[in-house]
Structure 1
Amino acid sequence: MIGLASRHPKTRTHRESGLGAARYVCSACSSTDVYIDSARGEVICANCGLVLSDHSIDMGPEWRAFTADEQNARQRVGGPNDWSKFDQGLTTIIGRQNVDASGRKLSSTRRAQIHRLRKWQIRTKVHSSDKRNLAVAMTELHRISSQLSIPYSIRETSAVIYRKALRKRLTRGRTILGMVAASLYLACRVHQVPRPLEEIVEQIHITRKELSLCVRLILRYLNLKIPHSNPIEFVHRFGTELNLPGEAKKKAIDILKKAREQRLTIGKDPKGMAAAAIYVASILTGSRRTQLEIARTARVTEVTVRNRYKEMVERLGISTM
């Protein structure tokens, strides 16, 4: 019953508590100075003592936490969906301990029943062809991601792309491995952390032609917005593999920026442009690397490095002598 209430100093809380006391206005005196009796669930006017609300529900947590770690430890909700798991990490499994809630061992009859339940649980999780396809695909995705040191965010994007392709029946007539690899390649492009097609092909042992066909198929039917590859994105990675100093990497980036201003990068393979810029920068900074070393690292031919190098020094007026 709403009416006058006595103030209780022990239950008075800050007006910006989880109940949102600041939104209350007293109907008797128009005061906004209210406090909350958390024990009774009442919002009380501090000016005249009128109970503005009773049986209030606190939507916040019921514990006290003084640090972020304490708050996380007390949360009762799980993490976000894991798209790279075929069941999104939402299902539970029957444990293999063969004990009851009190820790006592189950009887032989009960163990046999639980064993059958486990088998049926596994069967029902992959009861359809799409589920089986997804289970195999996500396993392959984890394997390839580990081999290529792909971060979690890119792996999740790749899983989402594959799921969309599966829903549109794009996987029919294509190998699971090829579609997984294509999804991973496109996810890297989306996150602007490009990986050369050749590098992915080396890890999964499919042909470049098959991978390219799968990539084009996904692009055609899923309408993905893929940013163009920027040669600068390859510089740090190639430079690290070649053990180049930071000065040489910075110089290569400056060269590529000038080349882009001169429109030299249009229609050229980004890997070839990055390789040529690294070659020029290594000469200018005294940390020279051979064309063969750079070509192998960038997975292009020496001829490509040489041709891009000649174009750069001529158009940008760079002297490497």
Structure 2
Amino acid sequence: MKKCNHCNSTEIEVDSARGDEVCTNCGTVLADNIIVSEVQFEETTHGASSAVGQFVSSDSKGGATGYRFLHGVTTESREVTLRKAKIGITHLSNILSLNNHCIETAHNFFKMALSRNLTRGRKNSHIYAACVYITCRTEGTSHLLIDISDALQICCYELGRTYLKLSQALCINVPSIGEFEIHIKKFLKFI
């Protein structure tokens, strides 16, 4: 029997789904990121089969990436995340009448944010909107932060905070165009 290094207890819980060993007496994690060679499946609420645990892709940099097994199709969770982001960014860009170049640029900003784990703990809609707004600023379009906020019905201040965090963390030099100048350009079209 295996014993805990800290309290010498033999009450060790091994969870192969999480990939860790924990002492139930003192709570010490004895091992984590345990790789198992067995594959377990569970039935989802809709009757489909789903693999239990985490899988490491061949191009992984040490972390585990999740896969989804649904109806015989294997999809890496990163692919799913990028696909959802592309849909969300395209939807917002279509509302704002942005071209395909802007959609691709915003999607690339999202990929950069995802690779640096800047998307964790933030709402997807805020991340998509911030990437689109960074694109609008770098491409010099006449869109305001409040336009994006109105299009998605999200708080302008939360969106602004997300935008600032992303642009600073990604080291993107956003041109400092005064919002007043954008208002003038935007509303001169109507006169």
Normalised by the size of structure 1, how large is the TM-score? 0.36
The aligned counterpart of 1:149 is 97
Counterpart CA distance in 1 for 2:137 and 2:111 is: 18
Q: Which residue of 1 aligns with 2:159?
A: 211
Are the counterparts in 2 of residues 145 and 151 from structure 1 also a CA contact under 8 Å? yes
2: CA distance between counterparts of 1:233 and 1:178? 22
Task: Give the total of aligned pairs.
Answer: 121
Q: Counterpart in 2 of 1:227?
A: 175
Question: Which of 202, 208, 211 is the aligned partner of 2:150?
Answer: 202
Aligned partner of 1:236 in structure 2 is 185
1:133 touches 1:176 (CA, 8 Å); kept in 2? no
Aligned partner of residue 224 in structure 1, secondary structure: coil
Report the 3-state secondary structure (helix = DSSP H, G, I; strand = E; otherwise coil) of the residue aligned with 2:109: helix
Among 158, 166, 173, the residue aligned to 2:106:
158
Deviation at 1:236, TM superposition (A): 3.5
Give the superposition deviation at 1:235.
3.1
What fraction of aligned residue pairs are identical, expressed as a percent? 24
Equivalent-residue separation in structure 2 for 1:232 and 1:207 (angstroms): 23
- Aligned partners of 1:172, 1:233: CA distance in 2, in Å? 32
Q: Tell me how far apart the structure 2 counterparts of residues 213 and 233 of structure 1 sit (CA, whole Å).
A: 20
Counterpart-to-counterpart distance in 2, 1:224 and 1:140: 22
C-alpha contact 1:140 1:177 (8 A) present in aligned 2: yes
How big is the shift at 1:194? 3.8
Separation in 2, partners of 1:152, 1:238:
25
Q: How do 1:275-286 residues align onto structure 2 when only pairs under 5 Å count?
A: none
Say whether the 8 Å CA contact 2:144–2:182 is kept in structure 1: no
Confirm whether residue 180 of structure 1 aligns to residue 154 of structure 2.
Answer: no
Structure-1 separation of matches of 2:143 and 2:182:
10
Distance 2:181 2:163 in 1: 23
Q: CA RMSD in A?
A: 1.9
**Cα offset, 1:140, TM superposition:** 0.8
Q: 1:182 offset after TM fit, Å?
A: 0.2
Aligned twin of 1:171: 119
- The answer to whether the 8 Å contact 1:155/1:184 transfers is yes
Q: Is the 8 A contact 1:185 1:194 kept in 2?
A: no
Residues 31-90 of structure 1 deviation map (CA, whole Å, 9 limit, x = unaligned): xxxxxxxxxxxxxxxxxxxxxxxxxxxxxxxxxxxxxxxxxxxxxxxxxxxxxxxxxxxx
* Deviations 1:93-148, CA, capped at 9 Å, x for gaps: xxxxxxxxxxxxxxxxxxxxxxxxx954xx33x322x2222221111111111111
User: Are 2:104 and 1:134 aligned?
Assistant: no
5+ residue gaps, structure 2, are 1-69
Aligned to 2:138: 190
Whose relative contact order is higher, 1 or 2, with alpha carbons under 8 Å and at least 6 apart?
2
Structure having the larger proportion of residues in strand: 2
**Higher Cα Rg: structure 1 or 2?**
1
The answer to whether the Cα contact below 8 Å between 2:126 and 2:159 also exists between their aligned partners in 1 is yes
Q: Compute the TM-score of the two structures, normalised by the length of structure 2.
A: 0.58
